[in-house]
Every structure is written in structure tokens, then in C-alpha cells.
Amino acid sequence: MPNIELLALDRITWEQVAEDPVLFARQRALTLGAEVDLFRSIGRQTVAMLQRTSSIAPWTGYLAIDRLQAVRRWERDSAAFLLRGLP
């Protein structure tokens, strides 16, 4: 069963996503998939929308995080590493 957490993002945080999604994820101990450019694009589009609408929290957006999936991915990668052994 997924363990979904909603992370509220304000305009400043969306600007961080638009600028450097990898750094944003690293600062929050999140694992990004292969779609870093898509996440950056979503950040830029969200910033533009927030500037046009002058929206304030809680209407600035949320990021859904599945921490259990990240744990499963870590366990799978660790198991693969253990099966391969040390180089």
C-alpha cells in the first residue's frame, strides 16, 4: 500500500524546483526519477501561473511523495548491489 505524503510548496519553493530540481530533492532527502527536466518544466509553469494569479498558500500547489516507494527502490538497488558483489 502506498504511503503518500503531500508536501505544500509556496512560490519560493516552486522557484527552487524550476531553478534546480536535483538540489531541491537532495535538500529534502527525495529521490527523483528520470524525469528531472519534466519536474523543472512543471516548476517553471507553476511559478508563471502563481505570478499571474497572485495565489497564496494553500493554493500554491503540492508535491505527492511516496516514501515507501523510495524505500522499496533503495531495498531493490541494495539487494542488486549485494547480489553483484563488490567490484
pTM exceeds 0.85 for this model: no
* Secondary structure of residue 8 in the 3-state scheme: strand
Query: Among 21, 4, 14, 78, which Cα is nearest to 46's?
Result: 14
- pLDDT confidence bin for 81, thresholds 50/70/90: very low
pLDDT tens readout for residues 15-69: 999 999 999 999 988 888 778 899 899 999 999 999 999 888 778 888 888 767 6
Contacts of 65 (CB under 8 A, 6+ apart): 4, 5, 6, 7, 30
